[in-house]
Amino acid sequence: MPYATANDTTLHYEDLGSGRPLVFLHGWGTSGRVWDAQAADLAADHRVITLDWRGCGRSDRPASGYTIDQLADDALEFIDVLGLEQPVLVGSSIAGAFVIEAALRAPERIGAIVPVDSGVQHFSTRPEAKQAMAELVEDMRADRAGTLAGFVPHWYAPGTSAALIEWTVRQVLDATPRIDGLATDQAEYDPRERLPALRVPTHFLHGELDSEVPLSVPRELLGLIPGARLTVIEGAGHMAQQERPDSFNQALRAVLN
């Protein structure tokens, strides 16, 4: 199993195929395994790298560093360690913020970014969303397993298999509880003033039925990021890459082409 050290943290990743490098970053508490369907398809003609970020999957669980700034810095350090030349960064949910921050900091090192079902400014600009995030963190302190069992199903559109939802819950339970700091951090995160300066090609992919992050969120950002585009994945919720993998892969290939 390949590992790389970024910012004194050992990170697990999978590296398949050859060609243009694509780096996939998972959402809160899960792992690189959420991209299995994309790796199986895209590795035929791309270099596909799926990363478990700090605290999740098979990566180290340091005591600190669970902020958007630090995870963005980890991603940039990881790119340097592997010697990747202008990779495309694909980030699911909160990892959409990681790839945006990385692109703002080091545009010359990144070929393009693809935020997937990303909340970006959603939680900091809507009082009800901010309050819900604070209540979620408190509920997890009291009953982590029970809270996640009730929370994670809302990531998926109606009709999603119970097995997929249960597997997702297990991944989050396996991650360190320190990742809850990211929920608090996201409740204060709003990069909109800086986005007009973003010069990395940006294409949002977003589930049509995402109830965690409405489509109004990426649509607002289209007017702020020069040349940004949006593709909606029909019938998908917040985990579009797993719910509608064929449609998602087709949309992502269109972006890459």
Share of the chain above pLDDT 90, in %: 90
Residue 232: strand, helix, or coil: strand
Q: What's CA 22's distance to the chain center, in Å?
A: 13
pLDDT at position 201 is 98
> What does pLDDT average to over the chain?
96
List Cβ neighbours of 137 (8 Å cut-off, separation of 6 or more). Answer: 180, 183, 184
Give the pLDDT confidence of 187-214 residue by residue, as tens digits: 889 999 999 999 999 999 999 999 999 9
Helix-helix angle 95-105:68-82, to 10 degrees:
70
Residue 238 main-chain phi, psi, to 5 deg: -80, -15
Question: Residue 132: which pLDDT band, with cuts at 50, 70 and 90?
Answer: confident
Domain boundaries, the chain: 3-256
Note the pLDDT tens digit of each residue in 44-69.
999 999 999 999 999 999 999 999 99
Given the candidates 3.40.50.1820, 3.40.50.11060, 3.40.50.2000, 3.40.50.720, the CATH classification of the domain at 3-256 is: 3.40.50.1820
Q: What is the pTM of this model?
A: 0.97
Whole-number pLDDT of residue 134: 86
Whether residue 106 is predicted with pLDDT greater than 90 in this model: the reply is: yes
| pLDDT for 158 beyond 80 | yes
pLDDT value at 174 more than 90: yes
* Predicted local confidence at residue 24, as pLDDT: 98
